[in-house]
Amino acid sequence: MNGYRLVVQRGLTALALPILFTACGGGSEQEGDTAYTAQTIQTTDSAATAVVSPLFADDGSVMPSPPSLTPADPQAHTRAGRYATEAQAEQLESALGNRSISTVVNLGDNEPTVVEEAVSLALMHQSAHGLSLEAPVLVRVRDLRLAAATADSLADLGFRTVFVVTR
């Protein structure tokens, strides 16, 4: 890119850099501060960013949730500390189809009703599709405190991988 400057809006940086690396051969150590590696690219919450980090590693282990997904309210934390974005949840559902369990409940703020309803939905899905307790569960409840209570209840029933979708 000798002498040319490229201005890329912040939200498009994660999309533009891989294209630039392909066009200019990827850069080199001799270019000093302008050399980038794929490890320096970080995703943002920008709508223009299309990169979604997976919830599971290639070996099937659960990837740690980024601290930015942890609810600010300590009472909305789950014991397992597993949180996902809506984009991550959609990616998992798309990849696994009926082999993942989604529970979406938007009832009133009556805690027992919401938690019971969400747990019942998860159990019905598990039973209907013959899934084991290893199947990933995505909990979407408007109130994150109730979502955390739902996730913890499902964990108490033996579900091993429960994510609360926080945004």
pLDDT tens by residue, the chain, 167 residues: 433 332 333 333 333 333 333 344 444 444 333 332 233 334 444 455 557 889 999 999 999 999 999 999 999 999 999 999 999 999 999 999 889 999 887 766 566 688 888 999 999 999 999 999 999 999 998 889 999 999 999 999 999 999 999 97
Residue 167: the pLDDT is: 78
Three-class DSSP category at 63: coil
pLDDT value at residue 49 = 52
* Count of C-beta atoms within a 10 Å radius of residue 10: 10
| Whole-structure pTM value | 0.68
What is the spatial distance between Cα 89 and Cα 144, in angstroms, rounded to a whole number? 16
pLDDT at position 7? 30
Beta bridge partners of 141: 105
Compute the distance between CA of residue 149 and CA of residue 155 in angstroms, rounded to an integer: 10
pLDDT for res 50: 57
CATH class (in words) of the domain with range 67-165: alpha beta
pLDDT at residue 104, rounded to an integer: 85
CA 107 – CA 119 distance, rounded (Å): 13
Nearest to 146, CA basis, from 118, 111, 116: 111
What pLDDT sits at residue 100? 93
CB atoms within 10 A of CB 61: 9
Each domain of the chain, given as residue ranges in start order, spans 1-51, 67-165
